[in-house]
């Protein structure tokens, strides 16, 4: 079955779109600092100007006398906050690069490096996670570029076949590296939440939107790989189908295109068609089929005996 020339390019639109979506989501999640969000339990300052807690002033005599003297007395402030009333729950958000938290002294946030907060025993895993994320983005970019080139070479099925094969392999490797990187960073953050600095440890935390964005990117990446493998399989079957068509010449009698000896008559019985001596060609790899068509094209261009009427070969070797 011969398909229209534009159809292979149209097939590559879907995996190319999924690859671009995965690339954008992965880059966004990597640069974001909203992988994890939560609250930190920080003690409130005692009787500060910016604190809404009620404070009571009590004069204390400096000479130890029983009656305080206004001229020789120090004023001591007491706050009657107890339990969780003496703590402030400030929000924080953390990512691969930065971790930011609110501060009570003034409006705003204080940001610190995630590498600085990570315990020394977990920093190697964090660097491996960053390296896997970078390799994930690089391989996904290569896969998208190959698919875009496939869109431009719609009239060269042989090139499109090889490009789709490499794009599928790069996309699968990219998805696996991304999955490993996400799992390693999640492990690093959990260890940091338990063993990190005392003034940073979160009281409660949950996953942020960047965490879910990263896993949606992984899903799109694997979907692009599966779709690309599907394109490769269909194109391989088309090559095999065209190769089989080359053995059918004349009034439905399949004979090889290359010069073959005439069919020998059967030893017994009436003469029959020459189709009795034909056996279906064995299944070959796609590269062998491409080489077969290239050799056939060269032979046809020289006007050799292998030229068959009604058969046109449009494939060009990539």
Distance CA 54, CA 75 (A): 16
Distance CA 239, CA 249 (A): 18
Q: Domain map of the chain by residue range?
A: 7-31+118-194+207-243
User: How do residues 30-48 score in pLDDT, each as one tens digit?
Assistant: 999 999 999 988 877 666 5
pTM: 0.66
Among 20-24, 48-52, 198-202, where is mean pLDDT lowest? 48-52
Q: Would the pLDDT of 60 be above 90?
A: no
User: How do residues 109-163 score in pLDDT, each as one tens digit?
Assistant: 889 999 999 999 999 999 999 999 999 999 999 999 999 988 887 667 777 788 8
Among 83-92, 116-125, 210-219, 278-287, where is mean pLDDT lowest? 278-287
- In this prediction, residue 168 carries a pLDDT of 92
Q: Measured between alpha carbons, how far is residue 135 from residues 33, 138, 238, 277 in Å?
A: 20, 5, 34, 55
Among residues 209, 194, 232, the alpha carbon closest in space to that of 15 is found at 232
Q: Measured between alpha carbons, how far is residue 127 from residues 28, 113, 133 in Å?
A: 19, 13, 10
Q: Tell me the sheet residues that pair with 79.
A: 55
Share of the chain above pLDDT 70, in %: 58
- Residue bearing the bigger pLDDT, 1 or 50: 50
Record: fold of 7-31+118-194+207-243:
Butyryl-CoA Dehydrogenase, subunit A; domain 3 (1.20.140)
User: How do residues 261-317 score in pLDDT, each as one tens digit?
Assistant: 444 454 554 544 444 444 444 544 445 555 555 555 555 555 544 444 444 444 445
- In this prediction, residue 251 carries a pLDDT of 41
Task: Find the mean pLDDT for residues 101-115.
Answer: 86
Task: Find the mean pLDDT for residues 251-258.
Answer: 44
Q: Would the pLDDT of 246 be above 90?
A: no
Among 80-89, 95-104, 105-114, 170-179, where is mean pLDDT lowest? 80-89
Q: Would the pLDDT of 171 be above 70?
A: yes
- In this prediction, residue 100 carries a pLDDT of 93
| Averaged confidence pLDDT in the chain | 74
Distance CA 61, CA 71 (A): 9
SS (H, E, C) 153-212: CCCCHHHHHHHHHHHHHHHHHHHHHHHHHHHHHHHHHHHHHHHCCCCCCCCEEEECHHHH
- In this prediction, residue 234 carries a pLDDT of 84
């Amino acid at each position: 079955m011969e398909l229209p020339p534009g159809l292979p390019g149209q097939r590559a639109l879907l995996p190319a779109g999924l690859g671009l979506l995965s690339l954008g989501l992965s880059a966004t999640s990597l640069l974001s600092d909203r992988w994890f969000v939560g609250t930190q339990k920080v003690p409130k300052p005692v009787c500060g100007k910016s604190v809404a807690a009620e404070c009571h002033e009590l004069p204390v005599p400096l000479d130890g006398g029983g009656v305080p003297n206004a001229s020789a007395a120090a004023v001591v402030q007491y706050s009657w906050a107890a339990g969780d009333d003496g703590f402030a729950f400030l929000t924080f958000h953390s990512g691969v690069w930065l971790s930011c938290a609110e501060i009570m002294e003034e409006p705003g946030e204080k940001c610190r490096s995630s590498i600085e907060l990570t315990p020394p025993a977990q920093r190697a895993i964090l660097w491996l996670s960053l390296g896997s994320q970078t390799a994930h983005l690089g391989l996904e970019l290569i896969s998208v570029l190959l698919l875009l080139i496939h869109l431009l070479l719609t009239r060269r099925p042989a090139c499109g076949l090889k490009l789709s094969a490499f794009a599928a392999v790069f996309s699968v490797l990219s998805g696996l590296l991304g999955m490993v990187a996400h799992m390693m960073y999640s492990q690093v953050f959990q260890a940091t939440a338990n063993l990190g600095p005392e003034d940073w440890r979160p009281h409660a935390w949950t996953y942020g939107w960047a965490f879910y964005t990263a896993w949606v990117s992984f899903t799109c990446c694997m979907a692009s790989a599966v779709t690309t493998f599907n394109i490769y399989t269909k194109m391989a079957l088309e090559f095999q189908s065209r190769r089989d068509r080359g053995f059918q010449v004349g009034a439905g009698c399949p004979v090889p295109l290359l010069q073959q000896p005439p069919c020998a008559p059967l030893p017994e019985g009436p003469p029959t068609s020459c189709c009795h001596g034909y056996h279906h060609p064995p299944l070959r790899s796609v590269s062998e089929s491409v080489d077969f068509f290239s050799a056939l094209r060269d032979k046809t261009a020289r006007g050799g005996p292998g030229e068959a009427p009604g058969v046109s070969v449009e494939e060009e070797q990539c």
